[in-house]
Amino acid sequence: MSLAGKLAQERRARLASERLLEMKQAELSAANRKLGLHAMALTKRIGETQAEVETVRDENEKVKSDLTVANAKIEVAERRLWHSIQTIQDGFAFFDESSCLIGANAAYLSVFEGLEEVAPGVTYPRILEIMITEGLVDIGSEAPSEWQQRLLKRWAIPHPQPEVIRLWNGHYIKLIDQRGNGGDVVSLALNITASVRHEAELTAARERAEAANRAKSAFLANMSHEIRTPMNGIVGMTELLSETPLDEEQRLYLNTIRNSGEALLVIINDVLDYSKIEADKLTLNPEQFDFERCILEVAMLLQPSVRDKGLTLLVDYNLFLPTLFVGDPGRVRQVLTNLVGNAVKFTSNGHVLIRVTGVPNHDAHSCDVHVAIEDTGIGIDKDKIGHIFGEFNQVEDERNRAFDGTGLGLAITKRLITLMGGTIWVDSEPGQGHVSVFVSRCQRLKARSPSRRI
């Protein structure tokens, strides 16, 4: 090859190398641009990440600070709570779901003074065993194993009932256990020694009071009998003496003695009946009697007082109500005499009405008898109606001061009606009279005779 050909070939090779170098430079420039853009993006992401890290670090520091404050507050609250529990005079303890002691105050642990085993971690069954073996509890005649099993069985119940135990020193402890949802148990040991002793004192005082009341009732009953006998003699002698020739002055004195004796005899009879009721010695003597006739007899007995006061006494006995019943006619007359007598006593004008109705029970051969005594007297205030049925109670106002009495009549009447299985109530307004109603269930015998009025 000639020199010129060689030179041309070298020039073509050089040009090709230059073009290749330019291409590689262009590729390298493009790669550098991409690398620069990627570096810029990476730098931006690193900056953002650093900012986020700083934010998280700040928040973490804030959370740590808040946790420190919260922990400090929790420690203060726990300390205050524990101090409060320690100040409780009664025992207080916590047990976990495995019946292991978590903690207890000094009052709870004082029972086990000197026994180091009774500390957090000891189980409830072990505590019961220690109480038995160390003689800390007085179980009486119950066997130790039975006592322990009984309390363990109680402990296993979801909602244990309170249990009272007696310690060796005579103190009474009431155990109150409350089980939580997770199985933990809060146990209270209340010292009720003072309450038990106070209750025993009250029981002894009540027994003494009841004994004194029985002695009082027996004394009243005996004295009433002893006084009634000579009083009957006095009244009887005045009756006999009134049949002898007497001048006007002597007859006046005699009538005064007789009236005073009869009034005193009524008082003695009331006291005797009341003492019998108080001593639970008053019994009913049931027998067949005519209820309508009994009412008419009471009405006839009160006729002199009714005539003297110019009143009208009416008896309204339901035409369809039976008349023959089984009961104590003497006590029925006493009840009617008290109620109708009071109506006449506190009525100055108008009338007194005895109205008798009833609801027969054919299946039980009985009848609920309703007796209403209505008058047009002075009446009773609403707030004093309940007062009149008390022992030795009377309505004290200017309208009643003119009427004497022991205050036992209505009390005895209420007790007698209650003894007969009935009830009594009063409906009244001042100045508009009153209505006394009592209801009693009586055994029915047969149909009644025609009604009568007086």
- pLDDT tens sequence for the chain (454 residues): 677 788 888 888 888 888 888 888 888 888 888 888 888 888 888 888 888 888 888 888 888 888 888 888 887 777 776 777 777 788 889 899 899 998 888 888 888 888 888 889 999 999 999 999 999 999 888 899 999 999 999 998 888 899 999 998 889 999 999 888 778 898 989 889 888 889 889 999 999 988 887 777 777 767 766 777 787 888 888 888 888 888 888 888 888 888 788 777 777 777 777 777 766 667 788 899 999 998 998 898 888 889 988 999 999 999 888 888 888 888 888 889 888 988 898 888 899 999 999 887 766 677 888 999 999 888 887 777 766 765 544 544 544 444 454 556 788 888 888 888 888 888 887 877 777 777 887 776 654 444 444 4
| Inter-residue contact 184 to 96 (CB < 8 Å) | yes
3-state SS, 147-202, equals: HHHHHHHHHHCCCCCCEEEEECCCCEEEEEEEECCCCCEEEEEEECHHHHHHHHHH
Place of tokens 């027998």: 287
Q: Which pLDDT belongs to residue 431? A: 75
Q: Which pLDDT belongs to residue 221? A: 67
Q: Which pLDDT belongs to residue 292? A: 92
Q: Which pLDDT belongs to residue 386? A: 66
Q: Find all residues with CB under 8 Å of 129, minimum gap 6, and list them.
A: 148
Q: Which of 314, 353, 329 is nearest to 454 (CA)?
A: 314
How far is residue 167's CA from residue 164's CA, in Å, rounded to a whole number? 10
Place of tokens 């309170």: 162
